[in-house]
Amino acid sequence: MSNLIVRLRKSGQMPVAAAALCSVGLLLLGSLYSSNFLSADYLLLQLQIASFLGVVATGAMLVILLGGIDLSVPWVVTVGGVMSAAAAGWWGGAGANFAIPFGIACGALFGLVNGIGVAYLRVPSMIFTLGVNAVAQGLVVVRTGGFAPQDRATPAMHLIATGRSFLGIPNALLVWIVIGSATVFLLHRTMMGRAIYAVGNRERAAYLSGVDTRRVTLLCFVIAGACSAAVGVLLTGYSTKAYQAMGEAYLLPAITAVVLGGTNILGGRGSYLGTVVGVILITLLQSILSVIQIPDMVRQVIYGGIIIVMLLIYGRGRRMTE
């Protein structure tokens, strides 16, 4: 056992293993309340719910690997949902064919703005993305008049979010698998992936070695914006219509899942497997807290506490190596 722990520490996979063990522990704890916690239907339902958080966490991880943070997630998610439903309403039957890509493109546009501000204007990501989040909120309020949007999800959006078209696997989970596989390929099989880790470790050194650090940062924010908007599209399909502040519940859980999975919140280190395990852990934790009726404010305290602890751990480790 001690040899296994040593190997996990050397490989940097200790947080992944710890999160996986915690997930198993939560399942066993939940089974004490109800045997349904270990049923196939329940597990598939949790994976379907985890898919929404997993897609958001994918974009969040890319930005965190750079050493940045994207606080525009809540309202970029809402933009994706509102604009995808609006496209179907604007263009009638033909709009249904463009609703999903249009909503995702709107999110990517906000990601582009974030990337320009952070990469080219050199504004700290926390400040700039918070401002973009406020702008997105204002635009959604202008678009909807401050009320719940009247446009509804298209049948395709509803099918992707709630259907099970292949071997009983939720379509939303298949979407996450596709996005996750593409992310793993990006991070470990492309020059772009190596550049992301290089920028996160030492941006100046990456720049001096020939990496176009501004372009890498820009592309990561664009991908993050597209991922957030894609979740807005999924949520709209899941609930059949968009609604105000539909992304508010995803910012802290997404960041928490990423750092719980071992991604250094200061950038430069992390694996997508860790993010997947972190997402599953957070989803199971949310389920358990809902069953035992823990107030939402307590959940936010838990998420914030985890982020603070991880920041202290990683920040101390970074200072010791410098």
Output DSSP code: residue 268.
S
Q: What is the pLDDT of residue 321?
A: 43
Beta pairing partners, 166: 169
Residue 30 has pLDDT above 90, yes or no: no
Average pLDDT over residues 119-123: 95
Say what the pTM is: 0.90
- What is the CATH topology of the domain spanning 14-321? ABC transporter involved in vitamin B12 uptake, BtuC (1.10.3470)
Express each pLDDT in 36-79 by its tens digit.
777 888 889 899 999 999 999 999 999 999 999 999 999 999 99
More confident call, 80 vs 311: 80
pLDDT at 150 exceeding the cut of 70? no
On the question of pLDDT at 254 being above 60, the answer is yes
CA gap 161, 170 in Å, rounded: 8
Name, of 79-93, 98-112, 134-148, the range with top average pLDDT.
Answer: 98-112
Between 131 and 94, the higher pLDDT residue: 131
Residue 123 backbone zone (phi > 0: left; psi -120 to 50: alpha; other: beta): beta
What is the pLDDT, as a whole number, of residue 322?
Answer: 45
232-268 as b/e, with b when 16 or more CB fall inside 10 Å?
A: bbbbbbbbebbbbebbebbbbbbbbbbbbbbbbbbbb
Taking only the tens place, the pLDDT of each residue in 197-219 is: 999 999 999 999 999 999 999 99
